[in-house]
A and B are shown apart, each in its own frame.
Chain A
């Protein structure tokens, strides 16, 4: 699903965010991306979502070479990626329903399909009864789940999450992770950037560790080894 081949990213300031990174994330695979802040986690996610372009090397996402996707095609490419942010990026002047419906409206689904899919997505994250609420009235964990519902409502084959549990307590974090696991179980690739080592150490998934822009560790988690 995601393949990095000797990918480097140097910003125009001269800062090397990523150095010669190579890895492959299979379809349906779930993995964590860790590292200190500034290690390149965000840069790596940005490259996948085409928020930035790589300086060297190749990136292949969903069988598409990102270097070959023109600026005009970027929106269509992004529709196949569900992106989840630490600060959820919800629109506060719209209801939960309208927030989740946005990707479907953009893609041009019919009203009927939108209603069906939005409710399915809200159901999945356990917020079906909150569809008429405004995000500001929800708790942090609920807001994050709305963000997840919006990311998955379009049924993307790939989900990217940037510190999705950054502002949440351990129990809420575990719940969020459970949702990601469920998606992974039905064949969605999930890549989660986090520095919450305690959380991921309990979960049996692959961990990619970045340090100063280099991939220093790529291994299955201890838990899985013990199983």
Chain B
């Protein structure tokens, strides 16, 4: 006791000074310490996670795998679309002309159509050429010579410009050609591409649904992990509430924890997808080379990476926000 008194006397001067100083920090101090506090909590929550590396890594792996699935599938789909874009350019319209059209009329029509913006190129196949080709390809060569007249019409082979157009405009072009007075029949050989598009639409929708479900799974994983973290730190939350900590103050470390989970999960997802693409790329190239196609699997683009990380971080934040919102209210000092 005596010792204690002596002690305080020595420091008495300091304490007197203390009593004149402000009892709450000024605005600028508050603002500065607010940012410093954020920064501290930012790294503090990272430190907390590193204290339990195994469970942290497992949680991040779950998030990573859940996000890698839709990302990878989406990327494969993009590649498939890219590839089918190459096939699409092989689509062509055969414009069978009326028999009454002469060769020079056909040539004139060819140059006219050539000028249309939705057309890349037009090839003219005369009736004679058509017959020759047919004789050569069909194997009916001799039989056809027996015909008194050439039954084949002259044809314009039109390559539509499909770069910046959709199926609708291609059909529009077809109609336009069909309505020409010289036309006997315009035929678009694109049925199989249409089917492919339809399948791709379904797959794309499927990937979207899968992505949404897995995003929900990520939310639940983060939410549950944060819920456990909150329960582990129940005592601390009670104490902080007792000594005047706001809900925002209590929420902050958990939100940053969610942020870190999201970030690391996103990075893991990125790595998984990248590795998967690398391991797929060589068999894929082998396959495409058989089709004389110089096709390379595109890796994750910068934009995709950006959105992957953004979405995973947002999922982490939202998941922890829900968990904190739900469970902080339950913890009240008794």
Contacts and interface: CB of A to CB of B under 8 A. Distances in A.
Interface in A102-118: 102-103, 105-111, 113, 116-117
Contact of A178 (B1, B3, B14, B241): B1
A137 B238 CA distance: 22
B29 A110 contact: yes
A120 B14 contact: yes
Interface in A42-88: 49, 51, 75-79, 83
Taking residues whose C-beta sits less than 8 angstroms from the other chain, chain B's interface range is: 35 or more
Given A123-B8, A154-B23, A107 B244 contact: yes
Contacts of A78: 242-244
A91 B245 CA distance: 15
B181 interface: no
Interface in A168-210: 174-175, 178, 182, 186
A51 B241 CA distance: 10
A90 to B, nearest CB: 8
Interface in B10-59: 11, 14-15, 18-19, 23-25, 29-30, 32-34, 36-37
Interface residues of A, number: 37
Contacts of B292: none
B1 A175 contact: yes
A123 B11 contact: yes
B109 to A, nearest CB: 79
Interface string B235-266: 11011111111110100000000000000000
B14 A106 contact: no
Nearest to B242: A83
B244 A79 contact: yes
A169 B1 CA distance: 15
A102 B239 contact: yes
A89 interface: yes
A126 interface: yes
Given A113-B25, A124-B8, A108 B3 contact: no
